[in-house]
Amino acid sequence: MSAPLLVVTVAAPTMAELRLRRDAVVGADLIELRIDQAADPDVSAALSGRRTPVVVTCRAAFEGGGFRGSESERLKILQAAVAQGADYVDVEFSADFALDLIRSTGGKGIVVSSHHFDDVPSDLSERVRAMRATGAEIVKVAVYPRALSDNLRLLSLGDPSRKTVLIGMGPAGLATRVLAAHFGSCWSYAGDGHAPGQIGASRMLGEFRFREVTSRTGIYGITGAPLAHSVSPAMHNAAFRAAGVDAVYMPMPAASAEDFITFANALGVKGASVTIPYKVDLFGKADTTDDLSRAVGAINTLRHDGGQWHGRNTDVAGFLAPIAGRLPLQGARVAILGSGGAARGVAVALGSHGSVVTVYGRDRSKAEEVARLGHGRGASYPVPPKSWDLLVNATPVGMVPHVDETPFDGEFDGRVVYDLIYNPQRTRLLVEAEAAGCDTIGGLDMLVAQAVEQSDWWIGRRPPVDLMRQAAQASL
């Protein structure tokens, strides 16, 4: 099968604006003109002067479109698009006139489509078979997977001998858009969110290198929930590109750890970053784990090889890397604020380097449990004066949008303040610590350092730290 094409969807309230947007599109093989969104839908205006082949779509309201006229008016518009030589015309399988329109053209240039905005219908295979039987050149189905593994229902529908477009809408469906070649789609759509989960052409082509993704491209990603603001795809795709590795990395928002494993096994995912809330659950599902992840009780990285899932924890190395040379850890008095997942890795990292660890938490017993990982003690707030050399914030307090908040209201009478938060890069805690004369470290340093370790483990090459940092900063 030839490489999947990229269709960029444009819509506008008027035909004049639609033409302006059509002509501003960069990087598309085809432009989908959603003339149903215009108050004055007009096929001639849509087609004239086009420099890129187009798909004309006049989507009915009953299938999520904006067309408010009658069905006979809609048919006239689609017939005009065929008569005036539109490269493709989209018609809903459920439209009463679909078969007549398809027969009138012999199917050539017709995209017969079916959209399901709530789920993946149970009769999808039968539906696709019936849609193929119409004789339309292209069969397109767009469904709404609620879990990653729901996408697998699409995987079995691709047919190299028939042109098919298989789209999973919403966050869990992103893989179907980026991995069109793996799913057997002849094209994929991009645009400014004209359908749930649709991403812009510049992100498809730039960050995900859509043009280079073939059915042999290695698949990596980040799993967790939610993932909308993750900067990991930007970092890892930049690293793959720089290393010249045929691989792509994307958000994989799973419904559960099991959901991720099912999806990843079926698609042949080679590796994944793991974040909240699956660090512990996927630790439990890994076939092998390293000493550090066993000490922490959680993983943040998976690699698949030899038919097994191997788990590691690069958060520990990522946390330690930025401190190197700034403070001798042996004997240093450390105050860790928070007793969640990140605090566990920090406690293990510092305890194993001989620091004297105190974990502060709202829940004293939880703080004590985490402190034991670092051979230290748990305590309730507040942090006493002159009690620390290194203060680590492992709570989300001060993160966007609550940038005016700080987790610490004591004296900055220690040496180094390390905030694991990376958005914003300069938290209120760091600004105040710096003003008081402390050395400070932001969470981006750790984020980049743990990602460098992951990439190294997956592809056997250490990406340049600066490259990863720039990609993360640009994404933030």
Interaction site with ligand NAP (CB under 6 A): 276, 315, 318, 338-343, 361-363, 366, 394-397, 399, 407, 420-422, 443, 446-447, 450
Cβ closest to ligand NAP, residue 151 vs residue 313 = 313
Start-to-end CA span in the chain (Å): 37
The gap from C-alpha 265 to its chain's centroid, in whole angstroms, comes to 18
Q: Which of 140, 163, 270, 279 is catalytic?
A: 279
Distance separating alpha carbons of residues 271 and 292, to the nearest angstrom = 18
Cβ closest to ligand NAP, residue 139 vs residue 337 = 337
Per-residue buried b or exposed e for 71-104, using 16+ beta carbons within 10 Å of the residue's own CB: eeebbebbbbbbeeebebbbbbbebebbbebbee
Total number of residues shown for the chain: 476
The gap from C-alpha 152 to its chain's centroid, in whole angstroms, comes to 18
CB of 376 to ligand NAP, least distance (A): 15
CB of 313 to ligand NAP, least distance (A): 11
DSSP 67: B
Cβ closest to ligand NAP, residue 114 vs residue 358 = 358
CB of 473 to ligand NAP, least distance (A): 13
DSSP line for 184-218: T-SEEEESSSSSTT---HHIIIIIS-GGG--TTSE
Distance separating alpha carbons of residues 288 and 313, to the nearest angstrom = 12
Distance separating alpha carbons of residues 264 and 149, to the nearest angstrom = 9
Distance separating alpha carbons of residues 368 and 359, to the nearest angstrom = 7
Question: What residue is closest to ligand NAP based on CB?
Answer: 340
Q: Is 270 a catalytic residue?
A: no
CB of 364 to ligand NAP, least distance (A): 10
Cβ closest to ligand NAP, residue 58 vs residue 370 = 370
CB–CB of 382/358 below 8 Å? Answer: no
Cβ closest to ligand NAP, residue 226 vs residue 340 = 340
Catalytic residues: 279
